[in-house]
Amino acid sequence: MPELPDIDVYIETLEPRIIGQTLISIRVSKPFLVRSVDPPLHSANNKKVIALRRIGKRIAIGLEDDLWLVLHLMIAGRLHWREDTVRIGGKQQLAAFDFSSGTLLLTEAGTRKRASLYLVRGLQALNEHDPGGIEPLDCDFESFSERLLA
């Protein structure tokens, strides 16, 4: 399962590759992945990436026009970077995010298909994806220990 440090590494690795780049298109091969309908997914096409952040165990990609892609990889989801556009197909490849700098491929090896993709508009809608609770990578030992015992 991608845990918090893994999500942070994904974000660190993605920043130089996609910040400032244009998201040309999102190709989805498995419709169960997309969990939102408004705004429609195609409204993210041709938007520049302006931010990347972690929200719990989710990766949030900030786009122009106050749009946010929220990826929750769940147990078996993984991200793969390709320099060129790639075809998606097969059971494990769920989506491809085509940027001006390359393609981000989302795969899921599990059979339960729990990974999810949301497109939301605005910080308020983005904050609804925050599970809350303590930030274990940012707190001190005493705060963490106190929270565990609560």
Q: Return d(Cα 110, Cα 34) in angstroms, integer.
A: 17
- Quick one: which of 32, 9, 26, 28 has its CA closest to 116? 32
pLDDT at 95 over 80: yes
Going from the C-alpha of 23 to that of each of 7, 9, 20, 32, 57, the distances in angstroms are 20, 21, 10, 21, 22
pLDDT at 1 over 60: no
pLDDT for 143: 80
Put simply, whether the predicted model's pTM sits higher than 0.85 gets the answer yes
Amino acid letter at 138? D
Q: Return d(Cα 133, Cα 120) in angstroms, integer.
A: 22
Give tens-digit pLDDT for 98-134. Answer: 999 999 999 998 777 889 999 999 999 998 988 777 7
Structure tokens at 80: 């793969």
